[in-house]
Amino acid sequence: MVNESAYRRQGAEPLIRLSGVAKAWGGATALESVDLDIAAGEFVCLCGPSGCGKTTVLNLVAGLESPTQGEVRVRGERVTGPGPDRTVMFQESALFPWLTVRQNVEFPLEVAGVPPRERAERAERYIRKVMLWRYRDRHPHELSGGMRQRVAMARALVVEPAILLMDEPFAALDAMTRDELHRELEALWMESGKTVLFVTHNVREAARLGDRVVVMGTRPGRVKRLLPVELPRPRRANDRDVSLIAAMVERELRIEIEKVIREELDDAWTPAGTDLPRDPGAHLGGGI
């Protein structure tokens, strides 16, 4: 159905490969037969309506869940659990409230057994990168949502993972903060050459950031379409071409979203553009 091979880079083994991956919860199928290759250094956005299993895909690559069928491989090795080569950034910052900014960023290094001096140096480098050095001794609850996500970004990057997994990390932020963080994430990515898998339901965000947008369908969750985004970087949020791609993604998603709404709402709901008055007679003579 999906012409995945067209995107497979010839010869080179992909960094991440999902083959025939399915995931079921009890009797319900969350994800059905997903094949996806992600090359090293690629920025891939997973975009789809709620319930399409995009977060499940991310969790499978993170090793937080295991597939019921098929397999996930990173650098040819089967994923069996979380690893230091893959870090995750969540929608809520998931920072530890009892630690300061600096201690939070040092935490993964500490767990990995990095000696204190090196730990401090690396944490400082990354806290400076997200421009929060001034706030290094503050606790998360003293920071704004945007600042917390910056700290979470520093914490995810400080172990210098090959792969950064992002699960709607900016969904809870206001539009302007989000634009700014998009810009910085893009810059960090261009500078570091990391591979990013970015989950979002925001089509504009997907078009703004991704080298490729993976459009996912629902009931059951699956890959519906792969859209390459061949636009020069750095991109701008309100760029015309970004909007065009976003519109394309949205068209792909429309059917899926309607499927979800139809299941969730009463029969009275009708898709946009078809909501003609049911009974024209009811309007005749109105307002006389």
Partner 1 sequence: MRSGLLLRAVGKSFARLAFGYSLSLVGGVALGVALARVKWLKDTVGPLVLGLQAIPSVCWLPLALLWFGLGEAAIQTVVVLGSLLAVTLATESAVKTIPPVMLRAARTMGAEGWVLWRRVVLPAALPGIVSGARLGWTFAWRSLLAGELLFVSGGLGQMLEFGRELNDMATVMGVMVVIVALGLASDQLLFGRLERRVRRAWGLDRG
Rank residues 86 and 102 by Cβ distance to partner 1 and give the closer one: 86
Rank residues 49 and 140 by Cβ distance to partner 1 and give the closer one: 140
Q: How far apart are CA 117 and CA 79, in angstroms?
A: 32
Collapse the DSSP code of 120 into the 3-class scheme (helix H, G, I; strand E, B; otherwise coil) and give the result.
helix
Name which of 163, 211, 200 is nearest 42 in CA terms.
211
Rank residues 88 and 127 by Cβ distance to partner 1 and give the closer one: 88
CB of 216 to partner 1, least distance (A): 21
Task: Return residues touching partner 1 (CB under 8 A).
Answer: 62-64, 82-84, 86-88, 90, 92, 94, 96-98, 107-108, 111-112, 139-142, 155, 159
User: Which residues touch 105 (CB under 8 Å, ≥6 apart)?
Assistant: 123, 126, 127, 151, 154, 155, 158
Name which of 163, 161, 166, 136 is nearest 151 in CA terms.
136
Rank residues 153 and 207 by Cβ distance to partner 1 and give the closer one: 153
CB of 21 to partner 1, least distance (A): 19
Name which of 129, 130, 196 is nearest 162 in CA terms.
196
Rank residues 67 and 217 by Cβ distance to partner 1 and give the closer one: 67
As to burial, measured by CB atoms within 10 angstroms (0-12 exposed, 13-18 middle, 19+ buried), residue 55 is buried
CB of 39 to partner 1, least distance (A): 22
Rank residues 74 and 249 by Cβ distance to partner 1 and give the closer one: 74
CB of 112 to partner 1, least distance (A): 6
CB of 197 to partner 1, least distance (A): 13
Rank residues 38 and 151 by Cβ distance to partner 1 and give the closer one: 151
Helix residue ranges per DSSP H, the chain: 54-62, 101-111, 116-129, 145-157, 175-192, 203-209, 240-264
CB of 65 to partner 1, least distance (A): 10
Q: How far apart are CA 21 and CA 170, in angstroms?
A: 27
Q: Residue 217 is encoded by which pair of tokens? A: 């369908």
Question: CA angle at residue 102 from 98 to 106, to 5 degrees?
Answer: 95
CB of 7 to partner 1, least distance (A): 27
